[in-house]
Structure 1
């Protein structure tokens, strides 16, 4: 699907492509979402570009992700999608930057792109060039990462309270906590990959596009670089918090397991003396004085109870119970 974002007055107006006839002259941003082969060929012919295929987007070498041609600069970054559906996955987005317009190629729905479209309507005149649109889109991607990191921090605080709160009516489900920590760890890893990729793309843009061509985007670019660095540090701190909670949860699980094993061990030791007494009087020897004794049976039961009671008192004295 091809979507044109045209500059009409000071505002960017969204226009869906009705037919593959011509590219609007006032189009500042052309968004290709799940493009068909004929749509790619149409944009390539209209702008004189070679749009990367989906297979080429997935390559990880710098030479495949960042390169420039006489008519355009090609930059591919990694983004995280599917966060709202709790199925986060990484995908690639290619930015083809030309003096006339910006072309984006993607194969996933991104809330950051929708946020940028809404921001462009609220701030008319802010995104009048392809460079400003590019930086605005990257800023929206970084803002989305920041929102997710804030959400993860809140969830981790709730998990920490759940694990360490001694006044809860019910103990925490530690197995569920482990699963959540694993999900947060995987999400943070993907977010870190996105931040690293965005930092690489911004550095490439600064070097290969150059300061004179940035114009009003210069201040936005510096602020964006600071945001990426600070979010990278925040992501690293959250990974440390997850590691601590993971160790603490595993420690609590070990304590619970040790308590259960302790109960079984003490129960086995408590019943060991009565078992010994019962074993002695269960022998089938002919000459056993107690067998003919009237009080032999109560005496055996009393010996069993006394031996178990003495063992219990000893464990309490040693503070093992």
Structure 2
């Protein structure tokens, strides 16, 4: 699907392409969402640019993701989609940014791009050129990362409260296995964001350090502001990663303590019942010459020895502070 974005009465508006015959005049941004082969060829022929396949967009080397050709920038950062649905996945967005027109190619719906028109309505003066729209899109993607990291931090705070909470009364004990799963999902998502922020850092460095005379000062200033935000988010992400590692270690430690407590109970029970078992075993032997077998008080004596040996074992454990 091809969507055109152009100015109308000073505001950025969108409409879907009705045909693949010609690109309307005044279009500043062309967005290709899951484009077909025919749509890719149409845009390539109309603009004289190269639209990569989805496999080519996934290449990891910088020379394939960030390059310039005939004054046109080709940039491919990694973004995270599907966060709202609980199924996050890494996706690439391909930017073709020239002096008069911006082209984006993507294969997933992205919240940051859906909200651009509303952002343009609030700040129309910052969305009147292709390079300004490009800077706004990059800013929107980084803002989305920041919002998600803040939400993750709130969830980590709640998980921390569950882990360190002292159960008592009607309060239930934290399900530590479920906590580990939550921490694992947070760590996986954090790794995705680390990769995304790395690619956006490369994109910004490539854009700012290159000699692009047509990249206007407002767009450069916007890109520079995003660069500062990325530095802050990188430190924030590193701190969250350390916190996740700490909470995971604590959770595993608590699980080990619980398991040790259970083993301790069984060990104490085995030791307490060992002396009575020994007494019962001795008097369970059927030798001919056992005087107690014919003694009327032999049975009560054996039972008393069993109870006394168990009680002495319990008293020893309490004296040692093991119970």
- Tell me, yes or no, whether TM beats 0.5: yes
Residue equivalent to 2:86: 86
In the superposition, the TM-score normalised over structure 2's length comes to 0.97
CA RMSD of aligned residues (A): 1.1
Residue equivalent to 1:70: 70
Number of residue pairs the alignment of both structures matches? 321
State the 1:222 CA deviation.
Answer: 1.6
Contact residue 274 and residue 305 of structure 1 kept, 8 A: yes
Residue equivalent to 1:270: 272
Residue equivalent to 2:191: 189
Partner Cα distance (2:42, 2:153) in 1: 45
Residue equivalent to 1:290: 292
Tell me which moved more, 7-16 or 242-251.
7-16
Partner Cα distance (1:315, 1:224) in 2: 64
Tell me which moved more, 137-146 or 111-120.
111-120
Residue equivalent to 1:136: 136
Which stretches of structure 1, 4 residues or longer, exceed 3 Å deviation after superposition?
209-212
In the superposition, the TM-score normalised over structure 1's length comes to 0.98
Q: For 2:77, what is the secondary structure of its paired residue?
A: strand
Residue equivalent to 2:58: 58
State the 1:25 CA deviation.
Answer: 1.5
Residue equivalent to 1:176: 178
Alignment of 1:154-233 (within 5 A): 154-167=154-167, 169-210=171-212, 213-233=215-235
Tell me which moved more, 288-297 or 64-73.
64-73
Partner Cα distance (1:86, 1:213) in 2: 37
For residues 157-202 of structure 1, what are the alpha-carbon distances to aligned partners after superposition, in whole Å with 9 as ceiling and x for unaligned? 0000011111551110000000000000000000111111100001
For residues 41-65 of structure 1, what are the alpha-carbon distances to aligned partners after superposition, in whole Å with 9 as ceiling and x for unaligned? 1101110111111111011111110
Q: For 2:74, what is the secondary structure of its paired residue?
A: strand
Residue equivalent to 1:44: 44
Contact residue 149 and residue 235 of structure 1 kept, 8 A: yes
Partner Cα distance (2:88, 2:115) in 1: 18
Q: For 1:231, what is the secondary structure of its paired residue?
A: helix
Tell me which moved more, 152-161 or 71-80.
71-80
Contact residue 5 and residue 12 of structure 2 kept, 8 A: yes
Flag structure 2 segments of 5+ consecutive residues without an equivalent. Answer: none
